[in-house]
Structure 1
């Protein structure tokens, strides 16, 4: 994550929304139309279109070739560009957490693997741990998307423990 470039103000604003982060997740690996995204999120297509346009304008979503829907209507699917993994925007921390919690609430508890670990590491061991973990995340994020495989989500947070001096 150290290799990430700082987000512009416009990019940071685009990512400072749990709803937009969820749209990006929906469009990861497979294009979806405004109507499909709205149905998945159980929202009004008009309000979703506003968010899609913001994500397109900032390069986080890319329109795919136009297609015809079931009744011949013009449809434009949108695909996530994976640009959000390449930018750093510290102000979106709460949006990431909110998007994660919204998505987690949709998953049956028995399908969730969760762990919490308290550590006390010397600075050099913490730096090594952080580097190894982030290198692994970067390595896995660069793997090709396999449409036939189940989709998984990972939320990673490392923070000082305010409960233990």
Structure 2
């Protein structure tokens, strides 16, 4: 996949948790403004404003107008996948898209309920810049591999990943020292 840096308009378009949720909903299935508003429990006018912004920046495309259940004409929209082809700035003060991603993930998780969580981990690592880049690259390759897999009998899953430098100074690292569960904060829940 050929990647490029996001334009300022694209960054601003993705700086909204609601827009990110709209993209996720339109990723696998085209949805009308009414369907989006119902799924998001938002006013259709508010949703339409965000849909138009996503269309204008190339993240959504309208599909052919169709007849709805009531016989009225409706226009469905589908995600273009553009957001997966973009690199976003990470300089200090330029991460509104990241804040929106965290909020959208939280909103999706709360909407699905605690029984929907399939696993997770909160951890800290001691990595130099090259190792941090390798960790990120390998994890993103794994994510892309599973996106391409699409199990025909699978359930729809969502997720969020972020790797950051910790604030402050952790102090000197004692080789081999570990304080176990408090250090990793790992919790995983298997689907039953």
Q: What TM-score do you get using the length of structure 1 for normalisation?
A: 0.88
Match of 1:67 in 2: 66
Q: Does 1:104 align with 2:103?
A: no
8 A contact 2:17–2:101 mirrored in 1: yes
State the partner residue of 2:24. 25
Closer/same/farther in 2, CA of residues 145 and 50 from structure 1, 3 Å limit: farther
Structure 2 residue matching 1:71: 3-state secondary structure: coil
**Displacement of 1:87:** 1.3
Distance 2:42 2:101 in 1: 19
After superposition, the Cα gap between the structure-2 partners of 1:33 and 1:93, relative to the gap in structure 1 and judged at 3 Å, is same
Number of residue pairs matched? 163
Unaligned runs of 5+ in 2: 90-94, 172-192
* Corresponding residue number in structure 1 for 2:190: none
| Structure 2: distance between partners of 1:68 and 1:114 | 42
> What's the Cα RMSD here?
2.1
Which consecutive unaligned segments of at least 5 residues does structure 1 have?
A: none
Change (3 A) 1:14 1:123: closer
Change (3 A) 1:8 1:64: same
Which structure has the bigger radius of gyration? 2
| Of 34-43 and 103-112, the range deviating more from structure 2 | 103-112
